[in-house]
Amino acid sequence: MELSAAAVLYRRGPRGWEVLLVHPSGNYNRRAPWSFPKGVPDAGETAEAAARRECSEETGVVPQTLCPLGSVKYRSGRKEVVAFYGPAPEDAQPRCASWEVDRAEFVRLEEARRLLHPDQALLLDKLAQLLSAQDVGQPESN
């Protein structure tokens, strides 16, 4: 089973919570689902370090504080994604920083659910629960 490490970065946008997603490049991926920035750890590299590196390599965004979010196994049984989440740097300007992706952008949680690879949806659900807990006691924004 292949192990990938993902960085799940979030921020509060003008219309609510957003997450950083990437879309794989290549004509054959035109209809492929989006993903969190992720990749296979190098030999001797921790999963968290790999998540940081992959996010930076794919989007140009360098994660700061990351915490374990859990993992998901793809239904095909060939891949497991271990994820780490944290706030995006305030000045984050994602871009396609690698040939591996043709889009890198912050997407509202509701839109992310529609775009995201179905096997990664559990990670989005976990993040949404954590962010919802942060919203308790926060004043309403108009």
Q: Give the model's confidence band at 142: pLDDT under 50 very low, under 70 low, under 90 confident, else very high.
A: very low
pLDDT over 70, % of the chain: 94
Adjacent-strand bridge partners of 19: 10, 107
Distance CA 65, CA 47 (A): 14
- Average the pLDDT over 38-54 and give the result: 97
pLDDT at 134: 77
Distance CA 28, CA 44 (A): 32
Domain ranges for the chain, please list them.
2-135
Distance CA 24, CA 102 (A): 6
Write out the CATH class of domain 2-135: alpha beta
pLDDT at 139: 47
Q: Which two structure tokens, joined as six digits, stand for 20?
A: 């950083």
Other residues' Cβ atoms within 10 Å of the Cβ of residue 19: 28
* Residue that wins the pLDDT comparison between 142 and 122: 122
Condensed to tens digits (0 to 9), the pLDDT of residues 60-109 reads: 999 999 999 999 999 887 899 999 999 999 999 999 999 999 999 999 99
